Structure 1
Amino acid sequence: MISLEKQILYMIQHRHVITAAELIEIYKDRGKTEQTIRNALSSLKQKGYILAEERRYTLTESGTAFIQSLQLKISGSNSEWDGRWHVVMFRIPEQFRSLRNTFRRELVQIGYGLLYDGVFICPYNRCASVMQVARLTGLEKWIRMGSLDLEHGPVTADLAEQIWPVQAVNEKYGLFSAWASAQIDKWSAAAANPAAEPSPWNVLLLVLELGERFGEILLEDPFLPEQLLPKPWQKEQAWELYNQHLNQLVPLLRSESHLFSLIVPID
């Protein structure tokens, strides 16, 4: 499932302020214990992503920048690729293994792929996001970055499949599309019976499930240029079905502003 910490960050971003009690109440019906939620909040505080004051949580500048780095991966993929590669290189001492592993995981979520040991590449310039993660982990002095044209040994679609899990991601998009299509048909049939309309609370849980299922894939998707992707690439269909199902659910929450503000940003 999508990282619990990241979903909490998005909720705080939408609401601006949220309490631990609210999060515990929401996630107990998603199978998360109170201790799991408190551990996630503690981790986010340690990373510098949130501030806590009288059990009320808000985003820090670092937390906002981190969310923006994930959004940049998605929005940046709409740009035409210029053929250049952006490279991150590092050789971090073994004593910092845990931080190194964290850094590597975040690189992958930003969209970088492992070319060689300690060498990650990305077709788009996400250096600002990389440095944000490097500063938060305290590893910036070991990081080297740059961009280049590969004069020999181009990264082909076949090689991209070895660097990034594009085939697995494509299959997940297909499975999500099948699930979302079934949900849309189910809700379309239920709409004919207003008496069967679910409570706003249950709708919120369904929105969270939809977000978890689709968000997991988005975190894994490196958002590569079209020429490096397998054919057919099933992302567009999945996006359409995600939005279609979301548009079925969200209107049912509009009358409950307290719940609605968890999934839609407050102006």
Structure 2
Amino acid sequence: MIFTLYGDYISHYGNEIWIGSLIRLLKEFGHNEQSVRAAISRMNKQGWVKARRKGNKSFYYLTDRGIRRIEEAANRIFKLQQDDWDGQWRMLMYTIPEEKRNIRDELRKELVWSGFGSLSTSTWISPNKLEDQVKSMIDKYEIEPYIHFFVAKYEGPNTNQQLVSECWDLEEINSRYEEFISEYSQKYIIDRNKIEKGEMSDGDCFVERTKLIHEYRKFLFVDPGLPEQLLPDKWLGDHAASLFSDYYKSLAQPASRFFEEVFQEGNELKKRDVSYDALHHPLIIEQKS
């Protein structure tokens, strides 16, 4: 939830927040001060955020590593159309020794999150251009001696679709999209009508927008973002993305008003990115243009 707040709000307001404001924001979701302080402390130890003291106040800001993760997530969350495929597969193979198995386990999680699928125990593939992500992972875990990375065309004897079926359960992913659409299409209609009638407070919109982002970003851990050429005919990912976008934008302005109301106490609103427009998110606009 804290990652969601950084990605959708704090990163546009100087990338830093007073712990008191963070506690106040998360109180809207039923989290108490102790749980918030424990969570931000874990993120600090894991290298996602750093603390800065000013007088008797503690401020937390995203590290470079945290910023990269937020930017990568945003580009995937707000992408409404799949990229065109160049017909090439990115293949990563590793032979990480047993004494480094903790690194191996972390690498697997990163590979799944980035959109790779497991073809065999230590062979991972993706049709997407993930060269930058691979380089970042190699540098992060210092595993250059144990990695081989290829960009190649599949020459059979089976089809590219067969490769996909061996690496990802698209039927299961589609089923999860169906559940998301079923639940949130109804919520979207109800909340949109409430907003139009003035029956939904800015705080309520803040909570619902944050929950929406938090729920939708879970697809980053299951949907590899395959190009259209490799997807089944009745793929629901695009429908879910459009629903998400419409619902998100209906909540955007009142949610941002609430955030600013809380943020201005203890933080500097002047750090707000002047190019940021919550209603017309730049990543959404770029994909539609």
TM-score over 0.5 for the pair = yes
Question: What is residue 284 of structure 2 aligned with on the other side?
Answer: none
Q: Contact 1:113–1:122 at 8 Å: present in 2 too?
A: yes
Matched to 2:24, the amino acid is: E
Structure 1 residue 224, shift from structure 2 partner: 0.7
Structure 1 residue 242, shift from structure 2 partner: 1.1
> Which deviates further from its counterpart, 133-142 or 201-210?
133-142
**Secondary structure class of the residue paired with 1:108:** helix
Question: What is residue 109 of structure 2 aligned with on the other side?
Answer: 105
Gaps spanning 5+ residues in structure 2: where? 265-271, 275-289
**Secondary structure class of the residue paired with 1:150:** coil
Structure 1 residue 111, shift from structure 2 partner: 0.7
CA pair 40-182 structure 1, distance change in 2 beyond 3 A: same
CA distance in structure 1 between the partners assigned to 2:6 and 2:193 by the alignment: 34
Matches within 5 A, 1:1-267: 4=1, 6-10=3-7, 11-15=9-13, 16-32=15-31, 34-54=33-53, 55-71=58-74, 78-154=82-158, 156-191=160-195, 193-194=197-198, 197-256=199-258, 258=260, 266-267=273-274
Deviation digits for residues 119-153 of structure 1, max 9, x if unmatched? 11111221211222333334344222121122234
Matched to 2:241, the amino acid is: W
Structure 1 residue 17, shift from structure 2 partner: 0.8
Aligned-CA RMSD value: 2.8
Structure 1 residue 73, shift from structure 2 partner: 5.0
Deviation digits for residues 48-104 of structure 1, max 9, x if unmatched? 332211221122222222233334556597432121111111121222222221111
CA distance in structure 2 between the partners assigned to 1:191 and 1:256 by the alignment: 14
Q: Contact 1:73–1:110 at 8 Å: present in 2 too?
A: no
CA distance in structure 2 between the partners assigned to 1:78 and 1:109 by the alignment: 17
| Count of matched residue positions in the alignment of Structure 1 and Structure 2 | 260
Deviation digits for residues 193-251 of structure 1, max 9, x if unmatched? 43xx2332222111111111211123321011223222201111111111211222122
CA distance in structure 2 between the partners assigned to 1:68 and 1:60 by the alignment: 12
Q: Contact 1:69–1:129 at 8 Å: present in 2 too?
A: no
Matched to 1:7, the amino acid is: T
**Secondary structure class of the residue paired with 1:87:** strand
> Which deviates further from its counterpart, 104-113 or 252-261?
252-261
> Which deviates further from its counterpart, 231-240 or 29-38?
29-38
Gaps spanning 5+ residues in structure 1: where? none
Structure with the larger RCO, 1 or 2 (CA within 8 Å, 6+ apart): 2
**Secondary structure class of the residue paired with 1:66:** helix
Q: Contact 2:90–2:152 at 8 Å: present in 1 too?
A: yes
CA pair 36-255 structure 1, distance change in 2 beyond 3 A: closer
Structure 1 residue 183, shift from structure 2 partner: 1.1
Q: Contact 2:91–2:151 at 8 Å: present in 1 too?
A: yes
Q: TM-score, normalised by structure 2?
A: 0.78
Structure 1 residue 257, shift from structure 2 partner: 5.5
**Secondary structure class of the residue paired with 1:151:** coil
CA distance in structure 1 between the partners assigned to 2:243 and 2:80 by the alignment: 22
Identity, % of aligned pairs? 25
| Runs of 4 or more above 4 Å deviation | 31-36, 71-77, 259-262
Q: TM-score, normalised by structure 1?
A: 0.83
Structure 1 residue 165, shift from structure 2 partner: 3.0
CA pair 44-108 structure 1, distance change in 2 beyond 3 A: same
